[in-house]
Amino acid sequence: MERATKPGRVSRFRPRGLIGMSYILESIISGLLLGLIYALLSVGFGLTWGTMKILNIAHAVFAVLGAFLAYWIFVKVKLDPILSLPFLAALMFLIGAVVYKLAVRPVTRAKDVVMASMVATFGVATVVENLMSYFWRPDPRVLKPVYSGSSLFIGDISISVGPLIGCAISLCSIALIYWFLHRTYTGKGVQATWQNPTGAALAGINPERVSLITFGLSIASAGAAGVAMAMVYAFYPAVQSVWTLFVFLVTIVGGVGSVIGSALAGLLIGFIIGVSAAFLPFVWTNVILFALLLIVLLFKPEGLFAT
């Protein structure tokens, strides 16, 4: 055992032997799992920003709404969040479509769409957060399916099942979004509209419908991400402001409008969290993450993986 630290001083942990190696691997794996969950949280935000020029400040509030809905279904109907996920994603798509019609579509005609959409979606975030507080109270919630407190053990390395399932949800959802955009006729229509709106319209693609699908898809992915986040974090309506931080971090590092970019940025951020937690005092983790953000903004403001 090492000598005790002096009062108030942070210990400098140096991994040693088997415990040190398993600790490093656990940290890195845990970071990567979280990073992929952040990727799903951000992918829809990046899509609407990059393609529709809609900066949706309300994106994370819909993730929290997804978490609340999954929690509510789990408590009331005893339906596991994994099983309720397809229904929930469909519901979130519909909610996204309604929000698009009511709050987003009008601002797409503004001179400065980015600024106008920020203001409009800030309003949406406030309304949704307050509605959640009204209906579900502002109390923190913890999603606790039976597997939430268990781990897989590979030798000395433990991998928490909650984040693992959150990561699986994330991977499947990102793969589905990618497949939809690149392998389906509608998805290709969506891409065509982003790349050349006039040409797509001349080819008979309805830009209004494409925008609605894109925004609905974005909100559906936020809802799924909320379930994945709830596998790891406690949540309450006001936590949306904290989750928004993760959304911006991944999107700025990865670049807007790229599904794969978001996934890679999430992985990179997770890897940095894991490695820095393993080798440095934990308090440095956020410093390093936001230093990365600054470096990206200075040297590659379009994002590391922008297409």
Residue 4, interface with another protein (CB under 8 A)? Answer: yes
What whole-number distance in Å separates Cα of residue 67 and Cα of residue 73? 10
Out of 11, 186, 206, 307, point to the residue binding another protein (CB under 8 A). 11
Out of 111, 139, 185, 298, point to the residue binding another protein (CB under 8 A). 139
What whole-number distance in Å separates Cα of residue 140 and Cα of residue 118? 27
Q: How far is the CB of 8 from another protein (least distance, A)?
A: 4
Residue 123, interface with another protein (CB under 8 A)? Answer: no
Site string for another protein, 218-237 (x = CB under 8 A): --------------xxx-xx
Residue 142, interface with another protein (CB under 8 A)? Answer: yes
Residues 33-72 touching another protein, rule: CB under 8 A, are: 34
Residue 76, interface with another protein (CB under 8 A)? Answer: no
What whole-number distance in Å separates Cα of residue 251 and Cα of residue 33? 17
Q: Which is nearer to another protein, 151 or 191 (CB)?
A: 151
Residues 280-299 touching another protein, rule: CB under 8 A, are: 281-283, 285-286, 289
Residue 131, interface with another protein (CB under 8 A)? Answer: no
Q: How far is the CB of 36 from another protein (least distance, A)?
A: 13
Residue 158, interface with another protein (CB under 8 A)? Answer: yes
∠ Cα 299 43 245 (to 5°): 65
Residue 155, interface with another protein (CB under 8 A)? Answer: no
Residue 10, interface with another protein (CB under 8 A)? Answer: yes
Out of 105, 144, 188, 300, point to the residue binding another protein (CB under 8 A). 144
Residue 2, interface with another protein (CB under 8 A)? Answer: yes
Task: Work out the end-to-end distance of the chain between its first and last CA atoms, rounded to an integer number of angstroms.
Answer: 50
What whole-number distance in Å separates Cα of residue 52 and Cα of residue 191? 11
- List Cα–Cα distances, 80 to 6, 95, 137, 143, 147, in angstroms: 47, 22, 22, 10, 10
Q: How far is the CB of 74 from another protein (least distance, A)?
A: 12
Binding site for another protein (CB under 8 A): 1-11, 13, 19-20, 22-23, 26-27, 30-31, 34, 133, 138-142, 144, 148-151, 158, 160-163, 232-234, 236-239, 241-242, 245, 273-274, 277-278, 281-283, 285-286, 289
